[in-house]
Structure 1
Amino acid sequence: MTAVVLDYTALLAIRGNQSVSRAIATAPQTDGRFVVPALSLLGAAADDPPIADHVGSLHRVDIVDLGLAAVGFTARLIADGVDWRFAHAIEVARVGPLRPQGLLVMTSDPGVYGPFGIETFTI
């Protein structure tokens, strides 16, 4: 199964970009799924509150909590100047013991992920 991280910018694009909407809508018929970092969803919902309910209603979308294990790394990113709306997506997508190849991030701002060696799909 393939997982794709939807970052803050991808979430905002759901309602305005037909290709993003189509990809998410067809996910239940494919082998893919989407993961949404909680801080990315919070950032998108702060800009467009109905996004939270919309994302919550989608099939094959898993919201990733900012658990204790992720707080330290995410906090360091924010302290180092990474925008909080992207920091949790970086933590979720990065290479780690549970994700030896990392995850692909759907974004409209791929430059955020380059310094961390994270692959992106630009929308």
Structure 2
Amino acid sequence: MHVILDDTAMAAAGLGNLLASRLIHRAHAEPGWYLYATACALVEADRARPGTGEHIAALPGITILDLDLTAALSVARGDTWALAHTLHAAQPTPERPTGAVVATTAPGTWAAHPVRILDLTP
């Protein structure tokens, strides 16, 4: 299971969201669970709640996805960097053949996009 935290999920994790905490624990403790955070969403989460970036980056079960060339080109066409980078990262890749699920506390943000979501709203 491949899951990408959007900026709202990262901020919620820092505020003690139980669902986000369980997801982070599962990714750290259980084989076959992978949790990611895109660099652009990490920046946006840190702007919304200072300290979130360091908190998420320090967690051992989360892989930070860099802004590489293909991601940068996707971001250039997006409305916001955080959403565009997360959407790009959720698409199928050789490492994630079926793509990834986006964990969010703002599911309405993703309604117009072809992505599976995991609603972390308490």
Shared fold, TM over 0.5: yes
Amino acid at match of 1:61: I
Q: Aligned runs of 1:1-123 on 2, under 5 Å? A: 2-16=1-15, 17-31=17-31, 32-77=33-78, 82-96=79-93, 99-123=96-120
Distance 1:26 1:94, change over 3 A: closer
Secondary structure at 1:70's aligned position in 2?
helix
What runs of 5+ residues in structure 2 fail to find an aligned partner?
none
Aligned residues: 118
Secondary structure at 1:105's aligned position in 2?
strand
Equivalent-residue separation in structure 2 for 1:71 and 1:86 (angstroms): 12
What runs of 5+ residues in structure 1 fail to find an aligned partner?
none
Greater shift after overlay, 24-33 or 83-92? Answer: 24-33
Moved beyond 6 Å, runs of 4+ = none
Alpha carbon RMSD of aligned pairs, Å?
Answer: 1.7
Amino acid at match of 2:11: L
